[in-house]
């Protein structure tokens, strides 16, 4: 996690990614920079869900878990803004940085944002359980994930396919061509061709509304508002988005 996200979207990250994906441009890499239009779109999508929750007009403490540079906080009155992130990027004035929720001490957050984070984590349940411990009883957790699941072929689970990928890794240009064609198939048919490239650059979990609601329930939350948009794009690529607002399940706690 630290190797990938410690210098996330830095020049080194861009150079390595571009070496294997020539279509990965600087514009895509910077799609979520602080002044990018997509940031405003993300905040608007989040607020369209939060407005159906009992979120107060003034927030004492809001945490963006995996919050990059703190650009995704909603446009509401927030006394204390905290980004919890494994990277150590320089944040704008007025935004605190912590590496772990344990650094909060006895502080209870009123709003915690977990947007486009769970699909990156090897164990998405543990951080939600940690969030449940540091959120106020009447707090709101906002969770957003992409809707980018794709269909695979039984061949992709075989030893033959594994050997094919190992061979392909030594033929960069062919790998790039097949990767590009596979990406086109994912965009237009949500399926991986038999000899396509199943590649997870960053996303290692793929959610549906049902699976995300089950994950939140298992970690002690009740969903109170939700919205999905299968056509949302990032850098010209359709990834879709599903967002939910949830509150602690106090009966489960007791």
pLDDT digit string (tens) for 143-164?
999 998 899 999 999 999 999 9
* Model pLDDT, residue 247: 97
The pLDDT tens digits for 90-135 are: 888 999 999 999 999 999 999 999 999 999 999 999 999 999 999 9
| CA-to-CA separations, 229 to 48, 52, 242, 244, in angstroms, rounded | 12, 17, 6, 12
Q: Are 214 and 11 in contact (CB under 8 A)?
A: no
The residues, ordered by sequence, that sit 6+ positions from 90 with a Cβ below 8 Å of its Cβ are none
- Per DSSP, 89 falls in state P
pLDDT band at 45 (very low <50, low <70, confident <90, very high): very high
Indicate if the pLDDT at residue 21 is higher than 90. yes
Contact between residue 113 and residue 139 where contact means Cβ atoms under 8 Å apart? no
pTM, entire model: 0.89
How many other CB atoms sit within 10 Å of the CB of residue 13? 16
Of the candidates 57, 49, 113, 33, the residue with the CA atom closest to the CA atom of residue 81: 113
CA atoms within 13 A on the CB side of 197: 22
Higher pLDDT, 38 or 11: 11
Domains of the chain: 31-148+203-253 (3.40.50.150), 150-201 (no CATH)
Residue 144 and residue 131: Cα distance in Å, rounded? 15
């Amino acid at each position: 996690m630290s190797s990938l996200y410690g210098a996330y979207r830095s020049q080194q990250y861009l150079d390595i990614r571009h070496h294997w994906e020539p279509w990965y441009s600087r514009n895509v890499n910077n799609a979520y920079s602080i002044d990018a239009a997509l940031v405003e779109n993300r905040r608007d999508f989040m607020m369209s869900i939060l407005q159906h929750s009992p979120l107060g007009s003034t927030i004492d403490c809001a945490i963006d878990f995996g919050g990059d540079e703190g650009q995704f906080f909603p446009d509401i009155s927030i006394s204390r803004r905290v980004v919890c992130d494994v990277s150590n990027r320089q944040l704008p004035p007025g935004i605190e940085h912590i590496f772990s929720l344990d650094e909060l001490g006895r502080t209870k957050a009123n709003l915690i944002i977990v947007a486009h984070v769970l699909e990156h984590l090897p164990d998405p349940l543990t951080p939600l359980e940690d969030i449940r411990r540091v959120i106020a009883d009447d707090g709101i957790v906002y969770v957003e994930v992409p809707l980018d699941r794709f269909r695979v072929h039984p061949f992709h689970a075989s030893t033959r396919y594994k050997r094919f990928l190992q061979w392909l890794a030594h033929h960069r240009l062919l790998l790039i061509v097949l990767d590009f064609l596979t990406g086109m198939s994912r965009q237009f048919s949500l399926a991986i061709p038999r000899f396509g490239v199943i590649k997870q650059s960053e996303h290692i979990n793929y959610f549906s509304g049902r699976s995300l609601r089950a994950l939140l329930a298992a970690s002690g939350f009740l969903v109170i508002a939700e919205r999905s948009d299968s056509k949302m794009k990032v850098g010209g690529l359709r990834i879709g988005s599903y967002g939910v607002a949830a509150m602690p399940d106090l009966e489960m706690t007791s």
